[in-house]
Amino acid sequence: MKNYRRINNLVGFLLFGIASFVYWMTMEPTVSFWDCGEFISASYRLQVGHQPGAPLFMMIGKLFSTLAMGDANKVAYWINFSSVLFSGATIMFLYWTITAMASKLYPKEKTTLEALGLISAGVVGALAYTFSDTFWFSAVESEVYALSTLFTAIVFWAILKWESDLDNRWLVFISFLVGLSIGAHLLSLLTIPAIVLVYYFKKTKQVTWLGTLKAFALACLIVGTVQIVIVQYLVLFAAKSDLFFVNTLGFSFGYGAMAFILLLIAAISYGIYYSVQHRKYNMNLSLLCLAFILFGFSSYFVTLIRANAKPNINLSNPDNPFSLYSYLGRTNYGETPLLYGKTFDAKQTDYKDTGTEYRKGKDKYEVSGKSFKVNYDKNLLFPRTHSSKDGHAAYYRQWLGMGEGETPTFAQNLSFFSSYQVGFMYMRYFLWNFVGRQNDIQGNGNNDAGNWLSGIKPLDGARLGSQTNLPASIQSNEGHNVYYGLPLILGIAGLLFLYRKNRQATLVIATLFFFTGLAIILYLNQDPLQPRERDYAYVGSFYAFCIFIGFGVLGLKETLQRFAPGRLSLITASLVALLAVPVLMASQGWDDHNRSAKTTARDWARNYLSSCAANAILFTNADNDTFALWYAQEVEGIRTDVRVICMQFLSDDDYINQLKKQVNNSAPLPVTMASEKYQKGVRDYIPYVDYGFTDSVELKDLMAVLTSDNKADKLEMADGSFENFLPSRKLKLNVDADQLVKTKTIKAGDREKATSSMEWTIDKKFIGKADLAVFDILANNNWKRPIYFANSSTQDTYMGLDKYLYLEGYAYRLLPLKRDPKDTRDKSQVTNTEVMYENVMNKMDFSGFNKASYLDEQSRGIAQGTWSSNNTLASNLINEGNNKAAHALMMKSIKDLPLRNYEIRDTLNKFDAISILYHLNDVQQANIMAKATVSFLDQELNYIATLSPDIQRGYLRNIQWGMSVLNGLDQETEKNKQGALNREIKEKFKTFESIFTKSLG
């Protein structure tokens, strides 16, 4: 075919346009949940995000943000659009990769039929990836994975270009891309083993298994060299050089690091010169590749420069080589054992020093402490059951069927690796993309939430009853995507076809598949109870499998040629593959990937900030409690008077330093500790020691002791050192009612409601500098600024202050009010009713929930949380005699919040709302909601009843929730004399009670 190259290029660009159009049509118009808020904020103002950073993504994002033309509301739109273009380009390069690899199976001069076969294979494989669940998800939001996958695609395509003409400039180009990609994500490093194999197969006349293994080992060494030596140790060497120049020679900070960089440049330059002069070709090529990797990696200078500029978001403050080394090494995330390490129930035996850590002082680097390695009494080879975090021990035992006090054996350790890490945390995701997905509810391993699903019962991983009688929680869930396993079958067919035709090419793709999938599982060694699904980490392996899907078209065509002429077999194979894979995937996945009208993350952030009074201090916890708020403030300028403090980062001394500075419209916080009291290596760990106090200790007095450098206020440790300690868990803070009125914390008429002293207990074995910072703010704020805590934080975040927390919307306000000792309500049931009603009715907008065509699980969770808090507020309004306000609140909830039940637990909030409506005599609306709830529960419980008893036990909590709601509705409808409805509910309750009593005992 004479014009094959031109047509091939045109089809690639056409696919770029198609994929980009699809992603643009389904793109979220504003900020998304999780890290997106941080990435957009960091890009817009060139700030420093969480470890290990993404400076290249940040710079590109900044470039795209300028397309907003000064409209801050459009910044997120345009940075999201960058992911659209990156993802569209990835599809284009995937297409060219498939056609390039398939071309090797045919003569250089191809017939028209052969050329069209290649194009068909490339189109089907590329479009399969276009509509794959995981890649599509990342393509429509501001995350690094779209850019990272593009680098992976270009790098793998480039090695095929090198293979076709042996021009080593392609290798230098690949090196530059690998270096650049480090500034976005490390995924493209995992293409190196496949690249090395391509190089070996092309350059070696006699390919052997031993030679292949040697090439494979060399590839692993190169990956390790780039990731550890270049990414981390070069920065460490620069830090050590700076230490010598500053502390020994007396230079200013940075001169030693610059001297090291110049020496490195000189060494590489001389090496290149030497290689040219002495015609050492391989040395020259290696040094050029190294130089270009470093050119790409130099994007991290931006991180260093911007950290020194002290922007509002400056996590870990990597403003010097030592802190940059820690930043790149992700030290905040702790260390995970890989080849040998402890079990989850191991006890510490001793530890040994492994080095000295430094911090940047005023004029010199100062010793901040020692790094050390802890030794444990129970260890395993290849430790997979290693985590001792809260709840993890119980999870390991439950998953492996272990008894209390039992230590995991090596066999059980391997069982967890195969069943959980490989099976649940990889194969489940793989099958989502190529077989089907039951729903979009995050799986926890105990039931079928988030499981894979084919639509063909014998093949399903989800433990379903009837395939034709699925309940709404499964069938109506937008994430219920049924592919009947057709993409998987076509991919396996392509793998077998290619294996018969070209085993070397098969091994190359399989290597890419392994390193971007299972090798990540080996390296991450994930612990259980992950806060979110982690399928995005394995998007590279799904990319590799789509290459096999492309070859599946050629395999199908070859099979059909036995029964039909070549032209007909090609047309049939192409159409069947196109319809059975990408078209099916697109039709099934469109609804749950269409975020075009979704603004729930931004709306939630705006409502969260609207929950707070002017100049508030808001303590949050973790990504989703924080990053969307940062976006709202840093990009759109919403409520910048509120200071958002993420407790996760508060143990970092540089983060505490930021609290002392003006940020946007937020004045400095009342942190009175001098920086040397909490700098790195100081007061990281303050143990509780029972000192015999029976009375509560005034917080200011306690702070004086905790921050004292007087040896008399410290405890001698086992090593002879003296450290601060917590002498009492019972704390108090004296309160001046006049000050409360003066600062408008309470109204003058509520003076008698104020307590003279807040007293509380912290239930911790030790505290750290994060607790010190909170104590300092509480002790010295003097009620000048309102203090809030996020309502979705972990219990530790509240620090025992629960009885002084009052809900005012999406956040609890700290108020020193008297509480009746008989009032045993949980803090979630206590509201600052008048203020919260004003916030909810006049400051908060929930309409975005109903405007979105699809609500993801995170948005649904927020909607249900809103239902719960609004129900609580309505109940409290009723208790205070304000039925009119309660009814207005319920009408707003019904109008703006989702009425649809996605899961059985959603009916708990609906039942509360129904009960409130009956109490308010709005029988009509109560009956409408009651009938819908009963209908939903009838489907769900009927479905669970079709399952076997052992599977039903996995749904025990759902059964309990459902029966509880039915029982409650029975009582409510009987009390409100709804005869027909009550009889229906009674009948259903008795039926299900009989069924589940019989099956579960």
Chunk the chain into consecutive blocks of 10 residues (it has 1001) and report each block's average pLDDT, rounded to whole numbers.
Answer: 88 97 97 95 95 94 96 96 98 97 89 92 97 96 95 96 93 96 90 94 91 92 91 93 95 94 96 95 94 95 95 94 91 82 89 85 89 87 91 91 90 94 93 92 70 78 61 88 95 96 95 94 91 91 97 95 89 96 96 95 96 95 87 96 94 93 95 91 87 86 91 78 88 93 90 91 89 94 94 81 93 92 84 95 94 92 95 96 96 95 94 96 95 94 88 88 95 92 93 89 70
Specify if 468 maps to a domain. no
Q: Which of 464, 444, 465 is nearest to 453 (CA)?
A: 464
Q: Which of 531, 634, 532 is nearest to 31 (CA)?
A: 634
- Given this model, what pLDDT does residue 467 score? 54
Specify if 419 maps to a domain. no
- The C-alpha atoms of residue 387 and residue 891 are separated, in whole angstroms, by 47
**Residues 81 and 109 occupy one common structural domain:** yes
- From the CA atom positions of the chain, what is the Rg in Å? 31
**Residues 844 and 799 occupy one common structural domain:** yes
Q: Which conformational region is residue 340 in: left (phi greater than 0), alpha (psi within -120 to 50 degrees), or beta?
A: beta
- The C-alpha atoms of residue 334 and residue 354 are separated, in whole angstroms, by 15
**Residues 344 and 399 occupy one common structural domain:** yes
**Residues 585 and 610 occupy one common structural domain:** no
- The C-alpha atoms of residue 700 and residue 715 are separated, in whole angstroms, by 20
Instruction: Find all residues with CB under 8 Å of 285, minimum gap 6, and list them.
Output: 168, 171, 172
Give burial (CB, 10 Å; 0-12/13-18/19+) of 438.
Answer: buried
Instruction: Answer whether 105's CB lies under 8 Å from 98's CB.
Output: no
**Residues 368 and 293 occupy one common structural domain:** no
Specify if 425 maps to a domain. no
Final residue belonging to a domain, choices 372, 393, 408:
408
Tell me the DSSP string of 863-906: HHHHHHHHHHHHHHHHHTT-HHHHHHHHHHHHHHS----SSTTH
Q: Give the pair of three-digit tokens for residue 603.
A: 């709306």
Segments in 561-707 forming alpha helices (H) = 566-578, 584-593, 600-610, 623-634, 653-659, 699-706
Specify if 455 maps to a domain. no
- The C-alpha atoms of residue 745 and residue 816 are separated, in whole angstroms, by 9
Q: Give the pair of three-digit tokens for residue 918.
A: 């009956």
Q: Is 351 helix (H, G, I), strand (E, B) or coil?
A: strand
The residue type found at 714 is K
- Given this model, what pLDDT does residue 822 score? 80
Q: Give the pair of three-digit tokens for residue 534.
A: 């982690």
Instruction: Answer whether 129's CB lies under 8 Å from 152's CB.
Output: no
Specify if 454 maps to a domain. no
- Given this model, what pLDDT does residue 723 score? 87
**Residues 757 and 805 occupy one common structural domain:** yes
The residue type found at 281 is Y
CB neighbourhood size of 524 (10 A): 14
Instruction: Answer whether 179's CB lies under 8 Å from 292's CB.
Output: yes
Tokens 């900020």 correspond to what residue?
Answer: 31
* Alpha carbon separation from 247 to 254, 358, 363 (Å, rounded): 12, 11, 9
- The C-alpha atoms of residue 461 and residue 428 are separated, in whole angstroms, by 8
- The C-alpha atoms of residue 954 and residue 165 are separated, in whole angstroms, by 58
**Residues 14 and 39 occupy one common structural domain:** yes
Q: Give the pair of three-digit tokens for residue 583.
A: 């078209």
| Tens digits of residue pLDDT in 902-915 | 999 999 999 999 99
- Given this model, what pLDDT does residue 486 score? 96
Q: DSSP class of residue 663?
A: B
- Given this model, what pLDDT does residue 795 score? 76
Report the half-sphere exposure of 835 (CA within 13 A, side-chain side): 21
**Residues 794 and 812 occupy one common structural domain:** yes
Specify if 413 maps to a domain. no
**Residues 902 and 945 occupy one common structural domain:** yes
* Alpha carbon separation from 996 to 467, 584, 955, 958, 989 (Å, rounded): 21, 38, 11, 12, 11
φ and ψ of 913, to 5 deg: -65, -40
Torsion from C-alpha of 267, 269, 270, 273, nearest 10 degrees: 160
- The C-alpha atoms of residue 797 and residue 799 are separated, in whole angstroms, by 5
Domain interval for residue 176 = 4-122+132-311+484-593
- Given this model, what pLDDT does residue 463 score? 60
Instruction: Find all residues with CB under 8 Å of 255, minimum gap 6, and list them.
Output: 242, 245, 246
Q: Please tell me the total count of domains within the chain.
A: 4
**Residues 901 and 995 occupy one common structural domain:** yes
**Residues 255 and 144 occupy one common structural domain:** yes
3-state secondary structure 104-153: CCCCCCCCHHHHHHHHHHHHHHHHHHHCCHHHHHHHCCCCHHHHHHHHHH
- Given this model, what pLDDT does residue 543 score? 97
Final residue belonging to a domain, choices 408, 443, 472:
408
Specify if 475 maps to a domain. no
Q: Which of 290, 300, 379, 371 is nearest to 342 (CA)?
A: 379
Q: Is the preceding peptide bond at 528 cis, omega within 30 degrees of 0?
A: no
Q: Give the pair of three-digit tokens for residue 707.
A: 């921050």
Final residue belonging to a domain, choices 797, 830, 850:
850
Instruction: Find all residues with CB under 8 Å of 440, minimum gap 6, and list them.
Output: 450, 477, 478, 479, 592, 856, 857
Q: DSSP class of residue 713?
A: G
Torsion from C-alpha of 423, 429, 431, 437, nearest 10 degrees: 120
Q: Which conformational region is residue 19 in: left (phi greater than 0), alpha (psi within -120 to 50 degrees), or beta?
A: alpha
**Residues 568 and 709 occupy one common structural domain:** no
- Given this model, what pLDDT does residue 311 score? 95
Instruction: Answer whether 648's CB lies under 8 Å from 674's CB.
Output: no
| Tens digits of residue pLDDT in 287-346 | 999 999 999 999 999 999 999 999 999 999 999 999 999 999 887 777 888 899 999 989
Specify if 13 maps to a domain. yes
